[in-house]
Amino acid sequence: MPANRFNAFTDYGIGIGLRIPHYRHILEKKPVVDWFEIISENFMVEGGRPLEILDQILEQYRVVQHGVSMYFGSAEPLNREHLRKLKRLVRRTKTPWLSDHLCWGSVDGRYTHDLLPMPYTFAAAKVAAQKIRQARDFLEVPIAVENVSSYAEFHVSEMTEWEFLTEVVERADCGILLDVNNIYVSSFNHGFDPFKYLDHIPMERVAQMHIAGHSRYRKYILDTHDHAVIEPVWKLYAHAARLAGRTATLLEWDAHIPSFEEVHDEALKANQFISQIEAAAA
């Protein structure tokens, strides 16, 4: 399960996001990191320092691309300019797989730059699956779609989020980027059992996992990626790892970013859960 066709049969371990505050440390100290995840849009530029940094990183490290604006769930067709620039970047990084979110975020050519939740309907699943297939055919790289965190649910939804995710990925025949923090955040905001979510999705399609921190408010949790991972999320991660096996895992820390060492140490905590699971299975 860990190395599967949705992650190009790779066996990546624990990675962290490539972030500007850490550039100098990484390029000067050359720490041992299994892989970095980059936000594709930050490097879909024509020239300059971003690409210079990326090329230096690519000399030393493995990189996987993660996007934030493909909007598989938007009613509009895929943006051709976006796809062309993305493909150019895919060739540059040689990313073994590419991920983006199961969400929408643009209407009539206007972009919200947010990851807006979809109504969980069969019609929406069909549109999203079609767009995922189109993207995969154009980009010629396996695609994994990520479950987003959300703060709203729609009256028109016909199924649960996990049923919707399953419907989309099976129609699209694509992989899943399983974000366990997003499941936790959404489970709190919408009142469902996060372990039930994990028990009901096709784990054989999980190409990669995300873990992250969040911000807890009185009435809801906001997915801010600006804290360490809390214990309940680690427990969810352990359950997911038990079901999916050792899977490429990425810690997202995108705001109030501490030192490289702190972020990397936090990510490497995932190893203790994987070790426990593998020891129990032996």
Partner 1 sequence: MAQAVMRPLADSGRMRADWCDGRPMKTVAAGFIKPNSRLTSFERLEIYNRQYWLRLMDCFAEDYPGLRAILGEQRFHELAVAYLEKHPSRRFTLRDLGSQLIEFLQSDPHWTAPQQELALDMARLEWAHIEAFDNAAKPPVTATDLQGREPAQIHLRLQPYITLLRLAYPLDNFLIALRENTRLRGEASNAIADAPEHSPARKPRLPHRRTLFLVVHRYENVVYYKRLQARQYGLLLAIQNGAFLEEALQTIPAGGTTPPIGEWFQNWSALGWFWMRGAA
- For strand 110-116 and strand 175-179, is the pairing parallel, antiparallel, or unpaired? unpaired
- In angstroms, the CA 9 to CA 255 distance is 32
The residue count of the chain comes to 282
Closest C-alpha to 211, from 149, 162, 132, 152: 149
> Residue 82 CB, nearest distance to partner 1 (Å)?
5
Tokens 């009435």 belong to residue: 219
> Residue 45 CB, nearest distance to partner 1 (Å)?
4
List 133, 258, 268, 269, residue binding partner 1 (CB under 8 A): 258
User: Which amino acid would we find at residue 46?
Assistant: E
Cβ nearer to partner 1, comparing 74 with 247: 74
List 34, 62, 153, 228, residue binding partner 1 (CB under 8 A): 153
> Taking CB under 8 A as the rule, does residue 80 contact partner 1?
no
List the beta bridge partners of residue 165. none
- In angstroms, the CA 180 to CA 201 distance is 12
| Helix 270-281, helix 260-268: angle, nearest 10 | 20
| Tokens read off for 85 | 């620039």
Tokens 């190009």 belong to residue: 8
Interface region with partner 1, contact rule CB under 8 A, candidates 5-13, 25-33, 75-83, 134-142 = 75-83
List the beta bridge partners of residue 101. 146
List 21, 27, 216, 261, residue binding partner 1 (CB under 8 A): 21
> Residue 32 CB, nearest distance to partner 1 (Å)?
22
> Taking CB under 8 A as the rule, does residue 161 contact partner 1?
no
Write out 51-111 in H/E/C secondary structure.
Answer: HHHHHHHHHHCCEEEECCCCCCCCCCCCCHHHHHHHHHHHHHHCCCCEEEECCEEEECCEE
> Taking CB under 8 A as the rule, does residue 49 contact partner 1?
yes
Cβ nearer to partner 1, comparing 1 with 156: 156
What x/- string results for residues 83 through 122 when contact with partner 1 is judged by CB under 8 A?
-----------------------xx-xxxxxx-x------
What x/- string results for residues 185 through 214 when contact with partner 1 is judged by CB under 8 A?
----xxx-----------------------
Interface region with partner 1, contact rule CB under 8 A, candidates 89-97, 120-128, 152-160, 161-169 = 152-160
Q: Contact residues for partner 1 (CB under 8 A)?
A: 21, 41, 44-52, 69, 79, 81-82, 106-107, 109-114, 116, 151-156, 189-191, 219-220, 222, 256-259
